[in-house]
Chain A
């Protein structure tokens, strides 16, 4: 039983994976940090408290603190989540184990490099508007049906936190798999009428076992996505499209 203080705070323990792969003397291990939980405390706040008052050597990433930037993704008691959107009060036993996201290059402790993968993924799926017809930038862009626009913006809500990849057994087994983040990106541009690419052209980007046909429908991506994106629907949509190319 953890002690509960008069002001409502209780004692919780954060167990953090510690390792620096760039330091030859670093041995991977877990380190316990007992702290006092305060009302409304998020994991981000708890980690900041540990960093400022207990251990200035512990590494973790954050930027926005509001679930927008996707930097603070980590594995919380086995589940990939955003630290800034996770309340410590969700864990009734007061024991929270934190790991860095698997499938990405480990930097140190809870810090990983998602940027290198996301950059390569964007180039690989050509995640931008492609339209080779002449454009007149002095005229107003062609309007889009509002419903379609909403559908596109819904997919644009992806923050590239990497949780879909860390939740995906296919990605864990087969590192070259593009993952839901890449397939969602392609689905987004295939919906966009500003993009002139045909299905045949999209097939050239994802039509293989490291792309759409590598997905084994484990659904870890959709079930852990912090933005609740309809990833299953988008992957099924792209799979149907890509099979029809043949």
Chain B
């Protein structure tokens, strides 16, 4: 082991008697990865709700992400690359955010009892933040792995089959609620943590955005369920614009 590391172990400072800058970098990175994921999920939910504008709109958007304007017919591999990139940020964010989780029963119990005693909204919101964060360790990983390994199975019928016939809808329902709540509380924390905006106004706007995104997410999930139910007899058959005319 390097001597410098031993000095830090023994004195909590480096060989120049200076504190490590790592905590500052970790704090910044946690916020930066969180902000990237919030932005991503805001657009992702809007894009996936394009099904509400019709199958053609959702199909056109899917093909645009497959870069069909460059490669004829589109290349699903680009979706896999995008999913991989998001997965890397997702894992990094989870790793950094874990530093803040209660690390023992004593810490968990202290938080819960304090939260129940003080009845303070921003304190109580943390329970939602850590619970949804924990759920997404699993739910987010399932979804991202599916997108990385089966990027070709995205489309009005392919997505609907996955959700309805492959019985993925309970997972997506939980993921939707978790991701929207986690992103909302996380964005609010980012704003007050770095002093980006006025607190009460930010809270009001984020509450409105939460209702909006939960709303379009649930209605879209319902739309995919309906398409999946109607398409169950032709499971696996892909959507084409011509066939839908």
Q: Are A173 and B107 in contact (CB under 8 A)?
A: yes
Contact of B99 among A169, A203, A209, A218 (CB under 8 A): A209
Interface segment out of the listed A87-95, A119-127, A129-137, A229-237: A229-237
CB distance from A243 to the nearest CB of B (A): 5
Q: Does A156 contact B (CB under 8 A)?
A: no
Q: Are A203 and B19 in contact (CB under 8 A)?
A: yes
Interface segment out of the listed B58-66, B114-122, B171-179, B205-213: B114-122
CB distance from A204 to the nearest CB of B (A): 5
Q: Are A208 and B19 in contact (CB under 8 A)?
A: yes
Contact of B126 among A75, A203, A213, A216 (CB under 8 A): A216
CB distance from A87 to the nearest CB of B (A): 20
CB distance from A141 to the nearest CB of B (A): 31
Q: Enumerate B171-194 residues with CB–CB distance to A below 8 Å.
A: 189, 192-194
Q: Does A4 contact B (CB under 8 A)?
A: no
Q: Are A218 and B23 in contact (CB under 8 A)?
A: no
Residues of B with C-beta under 8 A to A78: 117-119
Contact of B199 among A102, A174, A232, A240 (CB under 8 A): A232
Interface segment out of the listed B24-32, B34-42, B139-147: B24-32
Name which of A167, A172, A203, A215 has the most chain B CB atoms within 10 A of its CB.
A172
Q: Are A240 and B194 in contact (CB under 8 A)?
A: yes
Contact of B111 among A79, A173, A204 (CB under 8 A): A173
Q: What separation, in Å, do the CA atoms of A213 and B126 have in the docked complex? A: 17
Name which of B23, B100, B111, B120 has the most chain A CB atoms within 10 A of its CB.
B23
Q: Are B111 and A223 in contact (CB under 8 A)?
A: no
Residues of A with C-beta under 8 A to B199: 219, 232
Q: Does B21 contact A (CB under 8 A)?
A: yes
Q: Are B117 and A169 in contact (CB under 8 A)?
A: no
Q: Chain B binding site: helix, strand, loop or mixed by DSSP?
A: helix
Q: Are B189 and A217 in contact (CB under 8 A)?
A: yes
Q: What separation, in Å, do the CA atoms of A216 and B18 have in the docked complex? A: 24
Contact of A220 among B107, B122, B195 (CB under 8 A): B122
**Number of A interface residues, CB 8 Å?**
34
Q: Are A236 and B192 in contact (CB under 8 A)?
A: yes
Q: Are B24 and A236 in contact (CB under 8 A)?
A: no
Q: With contacts A79-B118, A223-B120 known, is A169 near B111, CB below 8 A?
A: yes
Q: Does A207 contact B (CB under 8 A)?
A: yes
Residues of A with C-beta under 8 A to B102: 173
Q: With contacts A218-B120, A242-B24 known, is A233 near B111, CB below 8 A?
A: no
**Number of B interface residues, CB 8 Å?**
32
Closest A residue, CB atoms, query B113: A172
Contact of A172 among B21, B25, B110, B192 (CB under 8 A): B110
Residues of A with C-beta under 8 A to B12: 208
Residues of B with C-beta under 8 A to A102: 114
CB distance from B134 to the nearest CB of A (A): 16
CB distance from A218 to the nearest CB of B (A): 5
CB distance from A103 to the nearest CB of B (A): 9
Write out, one digit per residue, whether chain A residues 71-115 have a CB within 8 A of any chain B CB (1) or not (0). 000010011100000000000000000000010000000000000
Q: What separation, in Å, do the CA atoms of A216 and B189 have in the docked complex? A: 8
Q: Does A246 contact B (CB under 8 A)?
A: yes
Q: Are B192 and A217 in contact (CB under 8 A)?
A: yes
Q: What separation, in Å, do the CA atoms of A246 and B102 have in the docked complex? A: 27
Q: Enumerate B32-86 residues with CB–CB distance to A below 8 Å.
A: none
Q: Enumerate B1-30 residues with CB–CB distance to A below 8 Å.
A: 12, 18-21, 23-28
Q: Are A245 and B24 in contact (CB under 8 A)?
A: yes
Q: Are A246 and B25 in contact (CB under 8 A)?
A: yes
Residues of A with C-beta under 8 A to B25: 246
CB distance from A186 to the nearest CB of B (A): 14
Closest B residue, CB atoms, query A174: B107
Q: Are A167 and B24 in contact (CB under 8 A)?
A: no
27 contacting pairs across A/B (C-beta < 8 A): A78-B118, A78-B119, A80-B118, A167-B120, A169-B126, A172-B111, A172-B114, A173-B111, A203-B19, A203-B24, A204-B19, A207-B19, A207-B23, A207-B24, A208-B20, A209-B99, A213-B26, A217-B189, A218-B122, A219-B192, A232-B192, A236-B194, A237-B195, A239-B193, A240-B195, A242-B24, A246-B28
Q: B interface vs A, CB < 8 Å?
A: 12, 18-21, 23-28, 99-100, 102, 107, 110-111, 114-115, 117-120, 122-123, 126, 189, 192-195, 199
Q: A interface vs B, CB < 8 Å?
A: 75, 78-80, 102, 167, 169, 172-174, 203-204, 207-209, 213, 215-220, 223-224, 232-233, 236-237, 239-240, 242-243, 245-246
